Amino acid sequence: MSKKVTKIGVLTSGGDSPGMNAAIRAVVRTGLYHGLEVFGIYRGYNGMIEDEIVQMDSRSVANIIQRGGTILKTARSKEFYSEEGRKKAYDNLSKRGIDGLVVIGGDGSFTGAYKLSQEFGLPCIGLPGTIDKDLYGTDFTIGFDTAVNTAVQCIDKIRDTADAHDRLFIVEVMGRHAGYIALHSGIATGAENILIPEEETALDEVIASLSEKEKRKKLVNLVIVAEGHSSGGAHGVAEILKAHLPNLDIRVTILGHIQRGGSPSCLDRLIASRMGYHAVESLLEGRHNVMIGIFENAIHYTPIEVAIREKQKIGDSWMKIVKILAS
């Protein structure tokens, strides 16, 4: 029988995402409700190594649920890749008696948690905090809904000016390895073409589609590109299209990090709160080294090593929807 957890740490790592603060709040207050001591670890694994660890109470997380970013900050840590760095990090946890850890982040963050659990026997729980929605084992990740709604609001505004000038706009959204933001925002804004890393869409197909629309005098078009698409992002696509479609007035907009910021949506606050609550419950119940997800509206537990290894896949049906609705 596993040892009862009495002191837990919580950290945010990797890229920030709206809703992380709601998750921190849920972890802290659920832990305190059960009589645990809760410690906040600043700046992710780097802060764990540098001993930036403070005890938290209910007031520590007051008035944060509506805030974007993360009050615990986040940072990359090269030192944590080494065994010496991880030993230093664990020693800082151990001297405070921290015997459970909640990590809010993506697959890189979960890899760190998995190594701590394997090397030192530390029970860890992962919460999927990433705007990319690319983690296996969950229908939702903390921050995706807010990020995609931010993209939709921006693209709607771009379509207004595209319509005023009869222009083709190529809009780049975030997503180095995953195209969910591009896919969802593109469908939601009626984009004529959507280019994502998972689908090697040949640009000659895009050119043929836009040429046909040009013949029909449909001059207002949107092409949504995930930054990780093989064409080299929006600028790469624009250069190719300009060479083949010289009569079109083409403009590029890169939304960039605006997608990471802002107050989290209601959905992101709800799923973050729900996941944070179940993270603490899992530690107390002895269910360790899992990622808390939501699948078909039920809490779903995926072993951390599986969440790291497997990849979320975009089904063919989504791309069929794109082709039909953009015709």
Lowest mean pLDDT of 62-66, 239-243, 256-260, 318-322, name the range.
318-322
As a whole number, the mean pLDDT across the chain is 93
Burial class of residue 234, CB neighbours in 10 A (0-12, 13-18, 19+): buried
Q: What burial letters (b/e) apply to 273-306, b meaning 16+ CB within 10 Å?
A: bbbbbbbbebbbeebbbbbbbbeeeeebbbebbe
Q: Give me 235's structure tokens.
A: 């600028």
Q: pLDDT class for 1, splitting at 50, 70, 90?
A: very low
**Share of residues in the chain with pLDDT > 90 (%):** 78
Q: Half-sphere exposure of 175 toward its Cβ, with a 13 Å CA cutoff?
A: 32
Q: pLDDT class for 203, splitting at 50, 70, 90?
A: confident
For the domain made up of 7-143+264-309, the CATH class stated in words is: alpha beta
The identity of residue 120, as a single letter, is F
Q: pLDDT class for 239, splitting at 50, 70, 90?
A: very high
180-188 vs 316-325: helix crossing angle, rounded to 10: 30
The identity of residue 247, as a single letter, is N
Query: By three-state DSSP, how is residue 291 classified?
Result: strand
Q: pLDDT class for 320, splitting at 50, 70, 90?
A: confident
The per-residue pLDDT for range 4-18, each reduced to its tens digit, is 899 999 999 999 999
**Share of residues in the chain with pLDDT > 70 (%):** 98
Query: By three-state DSSP, how is residue 170 classified?
Result: strand
How many other CB atoms are found less than 10 A from the CB of residue 153?
13
- The helix or strand, by DSSP H or E, that contains position 169, with its residue range, turns out to be strand 168-173
Instruction: List the catalytic residues.
Output: 132
- Cα 310 to Cα 103, 137, 264, 307, distances in angstroms: 19, 9, 27, 6
The CATH H-level superfamily of 145-260 is Phosphofructokinase domain (3.40.50.460)
Bridge partner residues of 173 (DSSP): 226
Distance CA 322, CA 317 (A): 9
Dihedral angle of Cα 221, 224, 227, 232, to the nearest 10 degrees: -40
pTM exceeding 0.75: yes
Assess whether pLDDT exceeds 90 at residue 294: yes
Question: DSSP character for 192?
Answer: S
Question: DSSP character for 311?
Answer: B
Q: pLDDT class for 213, splitting at 50, 70, 90?
A: confident
DSSP 14-54: SS--TTHHHHHHHHHHHHHHTT-EEEEETTHHHHHHTT-EE
User: Does this chain's domain 7-143+264-309 share its CATH topology with 145-260?
Assistant: yes
Q: Give me 227's structure tokens.
A: 């930054």
Residue spans of alpha helices (H) in the chain: 20-33, 44-49, 83-94, 107-120, 144-165, 180-188, 203-215, 233-244, 266-285, 304-309, 316-325
The per-residue pLDDT for range 103-161, each reduced to its tens digit, is 999 999 999 999 999 999 999 999 999 999 999 999 999 999 999 999 999 999 999 99
Starting at the earlier edge strand, list the strands of the sheet with 100-105.
53-56, 37-41, 7-12, 100-105, 124-128, 290-295, 298-303
Q: Give me 197's structure tokens.
A: 């890393």
Residue 164: name the closest of 245, 246, 224, 249 by CA: 249
Distance CA 192, CA 221 (A): 6
Domain ranges in the chain are 7-143+264-309, 145-260
Residue in the structure block whose two tokens are 């040892």: 3
CB of 114 closer than 8 Å to CB of 126: no
Q: Rounded mean pLDDT of 224-243?
A: 91
Length of the chain: 327
pLDDT, residue 218, reads 67
Four-residue CA torsion sign, 68, 73, 79, 82: negative
Assess whether pLDDT exceeds 80 at residue 220: no
